[in-house]
Amino acid sequence: MNLASDVVSNEEILGWVEEIASYGYRRPGTLADSKAVEYIAKKFEDFGLSDVEKQPYQILKWEARDWKLTVGESEIPCFHTPNTGFTDENGVEGEMVYLGDGTAKDFEGKDVEGKIVLMNVRFPLLQANLLEKMAFFVWDPKETLKHFAHHTAWIYPNWWLAYWHACKQKAAGIVGILADYPTNENRIYIPYFGPLNQEIPDWFLTRLGLPGKIPGWIPGLWIGRRDGAELVEKLQNAEGSLKANLILTGEVEPATTHNIVAVLPGKTEDTIVVHSHHDGPWNSAVEDASGVAEVLAVAEHFTKTPLSEREKTLVFLSTGTHFGGPARGDSTFIENNPDIMRRLVMDVCIEHIAQDFDAEQGEWVDTGLPEPRGVFTKGGSEEATSNLVYNLAVEAEKYNLERLIILPGTTPLGVPTDAMAFFRAGYPIYSYISGPEYLFDPCDTLDKVAVDQLNPVAAAFIGVIKKIDKADPSKIRGH
């Protein structure tokens, strides 16, 4: 572990993570979300930033009140599938039908109208050695990546297709078995989009492989892998069909959240944005209290740096809705801040300073290593990208950011980060992220943070920001 003495300590950064995570689940528009906004804005002000703005914007807040699944005479432990449809207090009732992985072929020729579909939710396996083949650069001095493979519990494309077909064929509801999740947990909260009766952008529908707009809004529940396996066995051994009752009550209502924007003027108006997001599915220490704490550490450093040593203006940003639906915080910031965007040289996004845990016998066990992390990197030209990769590689080696993979934005993953809107709009980016399996699980608590990486990651990005600061903007933007 290589530490930087002129950067906030691991312990102090962890204290910021702990404070943000203490407020409760930070879903957009909640009280915990509001507390996080006030805390982050106050920290920026404490560092001496005078231009700090809490920029409000409207979202639709989906909130479940009650949920229950009964099959035959048995109640099955379950959790609501975020952003699906609601029932009344009596729920919906119908025959339960098991359709495997819920593919188009599984639905073909099946009468599911008025029935409750049961299917396996599949999380693809992410193998680090495959990412290495697509990488610009890898820093893995202990050679631990070649055997690394985790399920991506943040990608579940087969569920979307099953939901589409279940709506199309007028099913009463859908129950997803988290078949690839490493524990029997069912409380997995993955709400990248808001209520699914909203308009979902065509580009995202295409990415999900859906035939078109979702043709309905039926209720959905998750159940754990072990409970799911037992339920499938029960269905297969039953004499005749089994009735199920699915309850999911709640409401969708307008709410307000905020992007926090803090400006540190430089000698020029050319601008570097440094950002993360403060919302999270649970108390979520890694997702993304840790990312916000890194932005705070970078801000603390540069507010102590004399103006004579800073060419470009720095904008520190904490977005409010990574999990809020079409009104994402990054795209909302771009839309609402045209003056900043006109001067933007580059976005630097930092998310998920995560420790690697494996699940053994259904329990999470610390491997003693940081979770592998990627940095999606793009300049405005091939030469600019090469320079950005080189500069980051130097810092990765200097601070020993082991298990780090520098990637282009053109992999099959795209740029699945809070920098997505910047990337899609054509701006240069560094986007640091890791994807631990527990990311959307309530077990994302303080012990999941890679504490010994907090100072080094902040120091590495301070290093590359200093290089961007001195560079001719055209050498970064490519024009």
How sure is the predictor about 194, in pLDDT bands with cuts at 50, 70 and 90?
low
Out of 127-131, 165-169, 250-254, 401-405, least confident range: 127-131
Instruction: Calculate the dihedral angle through the C-alpha atoms of 262, 264, 268, 271, rounding to the nearest 10 degrees.
Output: -40
Asked if residue 30 lies in contact with residue 323, where contact means CB atoms within 8 angstroms, the answer is no
- State the pLDDT at residue 204: 74
- Residues 333-380 pLDDT 10s: 999 999 999 999 999 999 999 999 998 878 899 999 999 999 999 999
- In this structure, what token pair is assigned to residue 372? 């592998």
Can you tell me the mean pLDDT for 243-248?
Answer: 98
Q: Is the dihedral of CA 175, 176, 182, 187 positive or negative?
A: negative
Average pLDDT over the chain reads 93
- State the pLDDT at residue 290: 98
Pick from 346, 331, 65, 349: nearest CA to 192: 331
Topology annotation, domain 62-135+150-251: Glucose Oxidase; domain 1 (3.50.30)
Asked if residue 299 lies in contact with residue 315, where contact means CB atoms within 8 angstroms, the answer is no
| Residue 191 scores a pLDDT above 80 | no
- Residues 33-63 pLDDT 10s: 999 999 999 999 999 998 999 999 999 899 9
- Residues 137-157 pLDDT 10s: 999 999 999 989 999 888 888
- Residues 383-439 pLDDT 10s: 999 999 999 999 999 999 999 999 998 887 788 889 999 999 999 999 999 999 999
**Strand partners for 61:** 253
Strands 313-319 and 243-264: antiparallel
- State the pLDDT at residue 441: 97
- State the pLDDT at residue 210: 82
Q: What is the CATH number of domain 10-61+254-477?
A: 3.40.630.10
Q: From CA 14, how far away is CA 275, in angstroms rounded?
A: 18
Sorted by where each begins, the domain ranges of the chain are 10-61+254-477, 62-135+150-251
| Residue 211 scores a pLDDT above 70 | yes
pTM: 0.94
- State the pLDDT at residue 240: 85
- State the pLDDT at residue 324: 59
Q: From CA 40, how far away is CA 36, in angstroms rounded?
A: 6
Pick from 414, 470, 94, 459: nearest CA to 272: 470
Domains 10-61+254-477 and 62-135+150-251 share a fold: no
> What angle in degrees, to the nearest 10, is found between the helix axes of 291-303 and 10-21?
130
CA angle 238, 159, 442 (to 5 degrees): 95
